[in-house]
Amino acid sequence: SDAPEDMDPETWAKVKDHPCYSEEAHHYFARMHVAVAPACNIQCNYCNRKYDCANESRPGVVSERLTPEQAARKVIAVANEIPQLSVLGIAGPGDSAYDWRKTKETFQRVAETLPDIKLCLSTNGLALPDHVDDLLDMNIDHVTLTINMIDPEVGTKIYPWIFYDHKRRTGLEASQILHERQMQSLDMLHERGILVKVNSVMIPGINDEHLLEVNKEVKKRGAFLHNIMPLISAPEHGTVFGLEGQRGPTAAELKKLQDACAGGANLMKHCRQCRADAVGLLGEDRGQEFTMDLVPDEVT
């Protein structure tokens, strides 16, 4: 199909077979996530750490945590069963760039056996600038960054603390550092020709209006897509940590903001906020067929 109006043909050529970016591709190509990254270096006020990263995944879901060796075996087992498998993502259950050894080892092991699979990762960006050279070495051409603010004052209402440079930091300092590292991540990825999608979680009364400014800034810095996701408030799952009583946006509020933002929010309307261990075509999740007890000890 043709490139959307606001996307250059070169970018479109890179993403049109990616099930997450192309409405059409998502019927023909499968993706999977492996949950190899349990640790996280920040605290979002809407996250409950017992569950998958709420920036990238459905709230209230616990994915099966794997070692890099298990993950590689699982990916190969899935590729043997689902030949349309084209994308492997690491999106948690914590932050994929924090405990980098695990993410890197997983990608390396998979690439040895399945060199054609596209690799991608989702991260809050705090640790990413330290690993951008590795991304290039591993031919990773897509990264998703979750950016909920470009004003650290707004950030103080979203992030009670971050862990950075061996220290826990709180208040405005935490949000300032997070903001600087997120902008640095965007710039470094853009300079190196790695495609960046930005995810933002819309939190009514906290960052809803501010996300218009976020949209302008991330587009200016080269993000090819800005995906605005609703906060899914699910207190029964304990998903809301420091924002008790916080509601998510209504469908109309979400649509209004998406329509007001430039660049590709439309393309992402089919994003399902998949589990950190999702397997299959986008509309389906065959993860239960590939839990570790069902994956053979030896796969080739």
Is 42 an interacting residue with respect to ligand SF4 (CB under 6 A)? Answer: yes
Of the candidate residues 22, 86, 124, 233, the single one contacting ligand SF4 (CB under 6 A): 124
Distance CA 52, CA 50 (A): 7
Give the residue from 266, 233, 268, 273 showing the smallest Cα distance to 250: 233
Measured from the CB of residue 298, what is the shortest distance to ligand SF4 in angstroms? 28
User: What are the beta bridge partners of residue 31?
Assistant: 87, 280
Distance CA 104, CA 122 (A): 13
Of the candidate residues 34, 35, 37, 54, the single one contacting ligand SF4 (CB under 6 A): 54
Of the candidate residues 15, 35, 47, 76, the single one contacting ligand SF4 (CB under 6 A): 47
If the CB atoms of residues 51 and 132 are measured against ligand SF4, the closer one turns out to be 51
> Residues in contact with ligand SF4, total (CB under 6 A)?
19
If the CB atoms of residues 85 and 293 are measured against ligand SF4, the closer one turns out to be 85
Q: For residue 297, how many other CB atoms are within 10 A of its CB?
A: 5
The span of 66-74, 99-107, 183-191, 269-277 binding ligand SF4 (CB under 6 A) equals 269-277
Is 207 an interacting residue with respect to ligand SF4 (CB under 6 A)? Answer: no
- What residues line the site for ligand SF4 (CB under 6 A)? 20, 31, 40, 42-44, 47, 53-55, 89, 94-95, 124, 271-274, 282
